[in-house]
Amino acid sequence: MTAINVTRTDFDQVVVQASSERPVLVDFWAPWCGPCRTLGPILDRIAAEFEGRLTLVKLNTEDEPELAASHGVRGIPNCKLFVDGQVVDEFTGALPERSIRDFLAAALPSPAAPLVAAARALLAGGDAEAALARLDEAQALDASDEDLLLTRIEALLEANRATEANALLGEAEGSRRALRDERRRAALQARAAFAGDPGADLATLARQAAAVPVDCAAKLAHARALAAGGSYEAALAELLAIVRSDRKFGDDIGRKTMLTVFAALPGDSDVVRRYRRELAALLN
């Protein structure tokens, strides 16, 4: 994709109006600016990869100082991203290529987004295998999309394919891939830690866990089975009972497993807040 050079005569048409159809990134630059000359080829290269999703526009501030000033340009290079006629984000300076890619990835919708949304809807309806089929289609459009990756892991867990889910989590961690939604990744990792447990007879485990005196090993097995099935509150109750009965059991496994369950739940969950308070009260 070739960048479009604009002036005051066509800025409104090429940038403001056109940004209602596709995001427009405007590079405010000048020929005398060294960092501008460094940034320009990077923007050209990245914009070519985003062809169809982004329009790259360049405005020479030497030729159009008033237009640059009217858009709040105080230093160059300055890049402003227009969507629906408004500046939604910007950066100043010759950023590293990785930072520019992150900037655009956060601001631009992935071409896979509609299919990922459809997959999430199928997941909500309980059809994990159909969701995975949609995600396969999405993969062909944008294999690097973070939402696609995390939704696939979630779908694999729902489909009881924990080994594959753990493999994807391991690949992401092994490649040191930086995920913007780290909270969601941590929650899925916590779910995967329990989903790998073999199927268990909950009724039998519940009877064993209810034994008196307290059988910490039985309660731990019951808690892990409950968590594997998504019954996190009941799992926390069993784990708290382990901490209350024998803090040293299994090298403090009761408390440690509670922390893993906390990670699988939203941080502002009432359940998390209540059990954090109860755990803190026991430890003090």
What is the residue whose two structure tokens read 């299919």? 115
Angle at 250 between CA 249 and CA 253, to 5 degrees: 95
Single out the catalytic residue among 14, 18, 36, 135: 36
Instruction: Order the strands of the 78-83 sheet from edge to edge.
Output: 4-5, 55-60, 24-29, 78-83, 86-92
First to last CA, the chain: 63
For residue 216, indicate whether it is catalytic. no
What is the residue whose two structure tokens read 């209540």? 274
Cis (ω within 30 of 0) for the bond into 77? yes
Give the closest residue to 184 by CA, choosing from 153, 163, 162, 157: 153
Could you tell me the sign of the dihedral formed by the alpha carbons of 255, 257, 263, 268, in that order?
negative
Q: Are 124 and 147 in contact, with CB atoms under 8 Å apart?
A: no
For residue 79, indicate whether it is catalytic. no
Single out the catalytic residue among 33, 155, 162, 195: 33
Q: Are 188 and 169 in contact, with CB atoms under 8 Å apart?
A: yes
What is the residue whose two structure tokens read 């064993």? 208
Give the closest residue to 80 by CA, choosing from 96, 95, 91, 69: 91
Catalytic residue list: 33, 36
